Chains A and B, each alone.
Chain A
Amino acid sequence: MEKMRTALLLVSALAAFAQAPSTPTAAPKKPAAPKSAEAAPAKNFKLSGSPSAACTIEIYTDYECPHCRRLYLETMPEILTKYLNTNKIQVLHRDFPLPGHQYSKLAARYANAAGQIGKYEMAVTQIFTTQADWSQNGNIDGAMAKVFAQADMVKIREMVKNDSHLDDSVTADFAMGQKDGLTETPTIMIVKGGKRERISGFMPANILGSYLDQKLAQK
């Protein structure tokens, strides 16, 4: 009987301890959109969705990381349809180029330059779709030129070459990632009610969707 009582007490104490999540931290401010000499964007092109959404997911990716590619091309379309397009969440892209990937920063420059002319999503999709090609030789320009109009490519190339502020948001995102305790990409931060929860690694849409349902149902 004594053992039973001890066991019950232990379970209660452990349950209380286990329920205190280890990852949530206070939510910081979102990063400002990068400054550009070419054109000042009207809004942060890395952020999409309704400002009234209950929850924000911040996605840290590295353009050369295969799991990030899968997350972007396999998981996110369903999540965007179900949660972003219905104003349930906001999505914030964050760049976290890993040191071991030699072309990641350049890819981020191209994506952010495209963002300056209002074509961020198009660039991100193309960069991830052609990852296997340009990650061999760094020819991101060639991959972009396949889908962007010549006039757009001229603007993008000019910014990639000369815009000293193009990496500002990358620097800010990387610093934020370190603050968030990132060890790998992709990592998703789920931000709700001032709390940040970190989930690392590739996540299929059904798991992320189910977790978002749970978070959105919480008051």
Chain B
Amino acid sequence: MKPHHWKWLLLAGRLGLAGIFLAAGIAKLREPWAQFAVSLYGFKLLPDDMLEPIAKTLPWAEVALGVAILSGIWLRWFALLGSLIITLFLGVLIRSYAMGLQVDCGCFGSGEALGPMTIVRDSTMLLLGAAVTFGAFRIRRS
């Protein structure tokens, strides 16, 4: 594959990754913050007093990260950060599924029960994030 092909692939991956974070953040922001807090509560990971601040700030962080990735500024670092965040989310989902928790994923707003497809989808997102990160570092080096 020629170098400019890699660039186009990286651009497509970057748009996809940015779209994921933007869609996730905006979907949450369009609902009452308490709805996302309910999802977070269901995962039984956070202390009660952390639910509200995280429910209020995480969607904005996702939007900001989406914008940063879309803009291409410091792409390799933001793509790396995005991949790490998806890894964290995926870990939480796998843990919750293994524990048999019946929770609303809350990933792209409410109404999606956690199931095997959620984990498959997030794993695919992680692969995309890893590919964009790898591509961004590779192109930077060359």
Contacts and interface: CB of A to CB of B under 8 A. Distances in A.
Given A7-B67, A7-B68, A199 B38 contact: yes
Interface string A1-38: 00110110011001101111111000000000000000
Nearest to A15: B63
Interface in B1-50: 22, 25-26, 29-35, 37-39, 41-42, 48-49
Given A18-B25, A203-B38, A11 B63 contact: yes
B110 interface: yes
Nearest to A21: B30
A203 B42 CA distance: 9
Contacts of B32: 21, 23, 190, 197-199, 211
Contact of A18 (B63, B70, B73): B63
B104 A200 contact: yes
B26 A14 contact: yes
B64 interface: yes
A211 B33 contact: yes
A204 B104 CA distance: 15
A210 interface: yes
A210 B31 CA distance: 16
A216 to B, nearest CB: 14
B115 interface: no
A20 B64 CA distance: 18
Interface residues of A, number: 30
Interface residues of B, number: 32
Interface string A174-201: 0000000001000000100000011111
Contacts of B73: 3-4, 7
A110 interface: no
Nearest to A207: B37
B51 interface: yes
Interface of B: 22, 25-26, 29-35, 37-39, 41-42, 48-49, 51-52, 59, 63-64, 67-68, 70-73, 104, 109-111
22 contacts: A3-B72, A4-B71, A11-B64, A14-B22, A18-B25, A18-B30, A18-B59, A21-B31, A23-B30, A197-B32, A199-B35, A199-B38, A201-B35, A201-B38, A201-B39, A202-B41, A203-B37, A204-B41, A204-B51, A207-B34, A207-B51, A211-B33
Interface of A: 3-4, 6-7, 10-11, 14-15, 17-23, 183, 190, 197-204, 206-208, 210-211
